[in-house]
Amino acid sequence: MDIRSQISMVFHLDKCIGCHTCSVACKNIWTDRKGAEYMWWNNVETKPGTGYPGKWEDQDIYKGGWEKKGNDIKLKGAGKKKGLSNIFHNPHMPVIDDYYEPFTYKYLDLIESPEVDDQPTARPVSLITGKPMDIKMGPNWDDDLSGTPDYARNDVNLKNLSPAEQQAMFQLEKMAFFYLPRICNHCLNPACVASCPSGAIYKRGEDGIVLINQKVCRAWRMCVTACPYKKSYYNWHTGKSEKCILCYPRIEAGYAPACMHSCVGRIRYLGVMLYDADQIHDIASADKDKLIDKQLDMLMDPFDPEVIESAKKNGIADSTIKAAQKSPVYKFVKEWGMALPLHAEFRTLPMLFYVPPMLPVMASITNVDNTEQSKKLGDISKFWPDNWLYDTSTEEFWGTIEQARLPIQYMANLFSAGNTEMVKLRIMKLMAIRIHRRWKTVGDISEEKARQVLKDVGLTQETADAIYYLTSLAKFDDRFVIPAAHREHAIEMMENTGDVKGSTGFGFKQDTAKRGL
């Protein structure tokens, strides 16, 4: 057993309202620079949709992630032989048109225009060439566009859905979508790290944050293709690649990352996980249907004395172990079994987990007589002569899951490597908690039924209430349990602090990275 600690995350998709506040917070702090304009370390995608960059999930195009070879795994598009043969000419590299050409507007023209007959306009200019341009695409061009032929119907996750199922998804009045916010997964088996010919990418020992050393990066851009989530971006101005740094300067200071801190829907949770690093190779090369179960097995119980002992042997601080015991991520992922990793089949063992969305609310329409109800309306009220009810209080509690607007198979392609049972169980749990809370707060469901539903999914009333609390009422410190950084320990592992004592602490900052090798 080789216990290490990892800062891990849960995104509760049922709560995401798709406001992009996270993306803007991240952009303002980190990527509002020349060469980084097109980078969205955090982005929010509409699903079904092609995402950003276009069709990033299609590894036939980009050759990202790992593939199983016998009992081993190999990088799909990089590694020793493939990497060397493609090092000067990587055919799977995304081009700027796969992202979009970043632009701004000449706002000053609005202010400085002389008085003329027509309204002055602010022309768009490219942030790459500086010349006027036609805007062709943006990072969330398909926002809220479910059902469009270009985006939703090209979603890579529709691949093992029957044509009938696909058609049903895009029927008028049945169309649905949800949001998928994405950041770097800070994987346990990161393909970007494995692919880098310069050895510039590393996973921080103390918290597992994956970083690119800007001084070592030599612009090979192998990480850009190797990351199956396309979360490593090449800065054409500095000639270095960049990626989400999980706001490590904030984390070290005890703050939540900017995207999480700013989240309006409070969908994001962050905490420490203790995992067994000995198992990484076994799990990453496991069969596809066992991948997720095995990955969850690798995440260790922070209360287990054996785990704590091994963690201490590895120099994990007591404060970190304590944080792991209080971790909301551990509760969602392991204790309650509510969250799943995104695209586990890429075999990078992502450490960002998603609670799959139950919405849009699943309900049935029943015929009722609305005349009595309509009589109560005032004279100026809008009157609909409908005689039906949008009924969520169905007798057949689980029946509606099968009839969900977004087919279970689609969700399974996203969150459970195609295993429908796994996603179904998570959605049933979400539903069971709703039914339980409905019995408690509204009371139109009998206690007997509520208990039965919880029993079906293996939850008790206490855990259901705890889940409800962490989902809906949790305070800042419940959602973000950030361990003390202990940078002093990490630094002392790398260098003798005595060497710099008396020689640093005052002077000029180093220049930012310049292009060139």
3-state secondary structure of 6: strand
Whether residue 350 is preceded by a cis peptide bond, meaning omega within 30 degrees of 0, is no
For residue 499, give the H/E element and its range. Answer: helix 497-500
Binding-site residue total for another protein (CB under 8 A)? 15
Residue 80 phi/psi, 5-degree rounding, is -65, -60
Exactly one of 122, 125, 137, 389 binds another protein (CB under 8 A); which one?
137
> Which span sits near another protein by CB under 8 A: 25-33, 73-81, 95-103, 315-323?
95-103
Nearer to another protein, 4 or 55 (CB): 55
Cα dist. 341→282, 376, 411, 454 in Å? 18, 49, 12, 24
Residue 195 phi/psi, 5-degree rounding, is -90, -15
136 touches another protein (CB under 8 A): yes
3-state secondary structure of 203: strand
Nearer to another protein, 64 or 265 (CB): 64
92 touches another protein (CB under 8 A): yes
CA-based R_g, the chain, Å: 25
143 touches another protein (CB under 8 A): no
Residue 61 Cβ vs another protein, minimum distance, rounded to whole Å: 7
Residue 243: strand pairing partners:
232
Binding-residue pattern over the window 382 to 421 for another protein, x denoting contact by CB under 8 A: ----------------------------------------
Exactly one of 18, 35, 54, 350 binds another protein (CB under 8 A); which one?
54
Residue 344 Cβ vs another protein, minimum distance, rounded to whole Å: 23
Exactly one of 69, 81, 89, 382 binds another protein (CB under 8 A); which one?
89
131 touches another protein (CB under 8 A): no
Contacts to another protein from residues 202-261, by CB under 8 A: none
> Which span sits near another protein by CB under 8 A: 7-15, 50-58, 234-242, 245-253?
50-58
Nearer to another protein, 149 or 505 (CB): 149
> Which span sits near another protein by CB under 8 A: 74-82, 88-96, 320-328, 432-440?
88-96
Rounded to an integer, what distance in angstroms lies between the CA atom of residue 345 and that of residue 66? 8
Please enumerate in sequence order all residues whose Cβ is within 8 A of that of 503, keeping only pairs 6 or more positions apart, or say none.
none
> Which span sits near another protein by CB under 8 A: 71-79, 130-138, 167-175, 502-510?
130-138
Residue 46 phi/psi, 5-degree rounding, is -90, 130
Strands 268-276 and 3-12: antiparallel
CA atoms within 13 A on the CB side of 142: 26
Exactly one of 61, 127, 389, 513 binds another protein (CB under 8 A); which one?
61
118 touches another protein (CB under 8 A): no
Residue 216 Cβ vs another protein, minimum distance, rounded to whole Å: 28
Residue 141 Cβ vs another protein, minimum distance, rounded to whole Å: 8
Are residues 27 and 284 in contact, defined by beta-carbon separation less than 8 angstroms? Answer: no
> Residue 266: what residue type?
R
Q: What is the 3-state secondary structure (H, E, C) of 324-378?
A: HHCCHHHHHHHHCCCCEECCHHHCCCCCEEEECCCCCCCCEEEECCCHHHHHCCC
43 touches another protein (CB under 8 A): no
Nearer to another protein, 150 or 396 (CB): 150
Nearer to another protein, 54 or 483 (CB): 54
Name the token pair of 517: 């090798």
If you search the block for the tokens 């195609």, which residue do you land on?
Answer: 418
> Which span sits near another protein by CB under 8 A: 51-59, 107-115, 181-189, 408-416?
51-59
Q: Interface with another protein by CB under 8 A: which residues?
A: 50, 53-55, 61, 89, 91-92, 95, 97-98, 134, 136-137, 150
